[in-house]
Structure 1
């Protein structure tokens, strides 16, 4: 008992010293929080962590930044996709959840990677730790995002060679089965996304069977052509030119391509681009596995015409090819025009527009396809007279569709379509008659002119 009493002053002294140190540390922390900006505090903390890790731990950390050489880091993108897919089964303290479905409030929630949260993964028995970091400093006017992937030092090489390959392949497989597609429009120096809800597929697309087969085969060959394009030294891209009158289904074909490939769409208006530098910056900010859509390319602005004139003067075709080549890999570039004859011949050569697709007026096959979809019938007494008129007059699939949507009753809708086509035929005949009379009158006037001079 005496020894215990003898120790009381010592315990009291230790407790007093601990209290004093704690107060000093709290005061020091308060001063730091008030004086030093958050960025500097985070930097100091990170340095302490790095010093501790290098001296007392046998771990190694891979840093995967979102930006790499002024473009999006595809390894970062692969990690993001991979972790989003596996989050439900991974060990993590919290999750980001959300939904982009405006029409279905009961839609299944999507999972996102939370910031500053450790996510545990395992690869062939190797323990892995993922953490997504985000910071904004004066050096970076935008949000800087980067992943830390930590493993034991002894597994560094295996993770570098095997795990990252597995990660990339898993992400590619996920991207090929995207649930939601987006369409992006460029505004105020950035791409703005919206859910792409055009449900046209090659199954529902009303085009001739041979064209449909050709398109599907070409797209499938392109999607499997990575090794081929690499072996011949060409960018992994495919260019399509869709040309024809308005209303012949160019936009629907674009939607079918996007849904078939599961590619996002970047809708670019060239008229708003001032020079090649701006265009290049826009292109490198788009993702791989996407469609770059440039509609009405014949309607170029003055700036576009100046670019074309300068390229002709400088003979800089290679530079233009380089511009499109900066658009990443596994890209489809689609141009549309109502007037192919107005395009600069340089735009039509292979490498820029590999496949030219003529979207023509309605045919009997397309007419029957539209009737089957909208009226749910494959035969009707009015089919024959309508098909004959379809061959005689120039009518677009859009015009046919508009008439078919007038009524769900096949008799009423087809009768209205027949009357529409007959009116169109009479107008065509009247226009031809007026044109012929004008040509005759012009010829007679020319014949009379020498006599008048005489």
Structure 2
């Protein structure tokens, strides 16, 4: 039984035991700091904090593939960024390789989820595809869903998403593969559907470069210098309020190297190529929609521009539209404009 007579001895014994335990804890902590890597200690600390933190409701951000008729930059950046976050636990992956690629390209398959951690915040990305509806020209809709704790919304919006955009651009520039885009769904008068169609793409496998192109050396140098000047004057165009674009007209019979020159320019600039057939365009709104669906830093090629549309004299009422058949002309020596 505890009494006042032995109180000093008990207190002394208590403090002695406390000091012994504290010393042991300090020794263990010092050894842990030396033996356990910082990354593992940080992970364990985050895991313990996560286990003992009360659960809060999550919020999900939906990132669609398109913003209206234009590509969603956040979607494109996320698609590239998430390739670097694939873990061994991911069950379904899309694998591909072209003859010009040295390694396999890997991407997550629809329905799969990928985890990420940003400044000790746990995030979950899900790749969701919606099956096409039974309507004319309706295609599969793709989106990413980003879920995280609601209390981190401001940090995710202000810092994480810009980080994804930046990393996506850096990876894209490092692994840039030039693509050739064609319209997948041209207009069909019988179905009365959408004139615009969708762009489908393949990797541009054309080997043409300015080093291999058979072209007059002075003319080749003039084109390369012009392209360099165009690339370096983006801010100038913005300053004077002009669209950052450059136009070229190539004319000559088939087989004279127009396509090879375009491919050389695309490989030099690392710009994607959009091949547009004007006979599939039936109104100004169609053309506007098609142009808005292309991406920045790309080459728009309009082939046979001189024989796809019938030229009219406006003074003689040539601006009247007489139906689709009046637009198609027999092929003459071809030209390309871009």
8 Å CA contact retained: 1:120, 1:130? yes
8 Å CA contact retained: 2:85, 2:115? no
1:166 to 143, 163, 168: 163
Aligned to 1:50: none
Deviation at residue 258 of structure 1 after TM alignment:
1.0
Deviation at residue 257 of structure 1 after TM alignment:
0.8
Aligned to 1:184: 181
Deviation sequence 1:292-327 (CA, Å, 0-9, x none): 11122211334xx36x859x988xxxxxxxxxxxxx
Deviation at residue 226 of structure 1 after TM alignment:
4.2
Which one scores higher on RCO, CA 8 angstroms, separation ≥ 6? 2
Deviation at residue 100 of structure 1 after TM alignment:
4.5
Deviation sequence 1:89-135 (CA, Å, 0-9, x none): x465224232253x69x963221122232211233443322111122
Q: Label 1:245 to 1:177 Cα distance change in 2 as closer, same or farther (>3 A).
A: farther
Q: Higher helix fraction: Structure 1 or Structure 2?
A: 1
Q: Label 1:225 to 1:158 Cα distance change in 2 as closer, same or farther (>3 A).
A: farther
CA distance in 1, matches of 2:229, 2:165: 21
Deviation sequence 1:230-271 (CA, Å, 0-9, x none): 333233322222235654432221011111122221111213
Aligned to 1:281: 289
Aligned to 1:47: none
Give me the TM-score of the superposition, normalised by structure 1: 0.49
Aligned to 2:201: 193
Aligned to 2:143: 146
Three-state SS of the structure 2 residue aligned to 1:286 is coil
Aligned to 2:60: 61
Unaligned runs of 5+ in 2: 1-53, 186-196, 320-331
Verify: 1:242 aligned to 2:250, yes or no.
yes
Three-state SS of the structure 1 residue aligned to 2:306 is coil
8 Å CA contact retained: 1:91, 1:121? no
Three-state SS of the structure 2 residue aligned to 1:170 is helix
Deviation at residue 190 of structure 1 after TM alignment:
3.2
CA distance in 2, matches of 1:280, 1:59: 40
Computing the radius of gyration from Cα coordinates, the structure with the larger value is 1
Deviation at residue 180 of structure 1 after TM alignment:
3.6
Three-state SS of the structure 2 residue aligned to 1:176 is helix
8 Å CA contact retained: 2:180, 2:273? yes
8 Å CA contact retained: 2:115, 2:123? yes
8 Å CA contact retained: 2:133, 2:139? no
- How large is the Cα RMSD of the aligned pairs? 3.5
Three-state SS of the structure 2 residue aligned to 1:237 is coil
